[in-house]
Each structure stands twice: as structure tokens, then as C-alpha cells.
Amino acid sequence: MVDDYRCKSIPAVSLLYIHFLSCFAFFANIMIVKVLSHKEMIRSGVNVTMLLIAVCDFGCSIAELLKLFLWSYSDKYISYPTAYGRLVIYYLAAAFHASSLYLAVGMAFCRVKSLNFANRNNDLWQSPNYAVRVACALCAPVFLITTFILFMNVVKKLDF
């Protein structure tokens, strides 16, 4: 059931477009993870970082599909579980999206460092272990900082 204000503000064609893009992102990221998780592909730090970016994008697409499901089939924020569920989904979407962006920056940083140190420490900057360390150093603070989304929002009952 779609709320009245949503029917007026978002055309049905846009909703179909959002559903299509969310489903496409879900299946495309499954295929990307499947390809990049092969033993031959995981030996490169860039491929490991692209795999982690695909996992974060997969998390974004799952969060978006859950958001669309709650948006279409739930009550109008009447119950506390629905409101808290939406709050958690918004947190996950923001955290996965920001982590994906920071991982892309981390991959670019590792590539620049490996090109600058072409003769020495080249294997260090392109190793999968170093890529995982950089990913953890970038994603852990992002997930911690985005937890403020949970504390900035309040779920309370309104009397109409």
C-alpha cells in the first residue's frame, strides 16, 4: 500500500525505474562477486579492493530492496518495528554507500603509490593483504561514524 503523499510526489514510472535499477544492481553485484572471488583473481590487491567494493554495493542494493519492500508493504510508520526497521535500513544504506566510495579512493591511493614506487615496494602496494588492511582502515571508521544516524533520529508516537 502506497501512502497518499508518495502517489502525488513520485510518478509510477519512476517507481518502476527504481525497482528495476535495484534488482539490476542486486544481480550485477552477485555476478561481479562471483567473478572476482576466483582464486586467480584474488591474487591482486586491486581485484580484492574491487571485490570489496562490489560487496559494499551488494549491501546497498539489499538495503534498497528492503527499503522498497517496507515502503510498499508496510504501514505508515504506525508501528515501532516498522519505524525502527526503516531507521536501520537507512543506516545500512548510508554505511555501505560511503564505504564503497572510500574503498574506491583507497584503491586509487594504492595504485598511485605502486606507480610512484615502481622499483621498490611495488609488491607491497599491490598485495591483497595490504589491500585488505587499507579497506579495514577506511571502512571501520565509516561504519562507526555513520552510527550517528541511529542516534540523530528519534522514533516517537505522534497523536493526530
- Structure confidence by residue, pLDDT tens digits, 60-84: 999 988 888 887 776 665 677 777 8
- Indicate whether 1 pLDDT > 50: no
- Structure confidence by residue, pLDDT tens digits, 102-146: 998 888 887 777 777 666 666 676 788 888 888 889 889 988 888
**Looking at per-residue confidence, does 45 or 115 come out higher?**
45
- Indicate whether 87 pLDDT > 80: yes
**Looking at per-residue confidence, does 95 or 150 come out higher?**
95
Query: All domains of the chain, ordered by start, with CATH?
Result: 4-152 (1.20.1070.10)
DSSP the chain: ---HHHHHHS-HHHHHHHHHHHHHHHHHHHHHHHHHTSTTGGGSHHHHHHHHHHHHHHHHHHHHHHHHHHHHHS-SS-SHHHHHHHHHHHHHHHHHHHHHHHHHHHHHHHHHHHHHTSSSSHHHHH-HHHHHHHHHHHHHHHHHHTTHHHHH--------
- Indicate whether 8 pLDDT > 60: no
| Average pLDDT over the chain, rounded to an integer | 81
Report the pLDDT value the prediction gives residue 40, as an integer from 0 to 100: 86
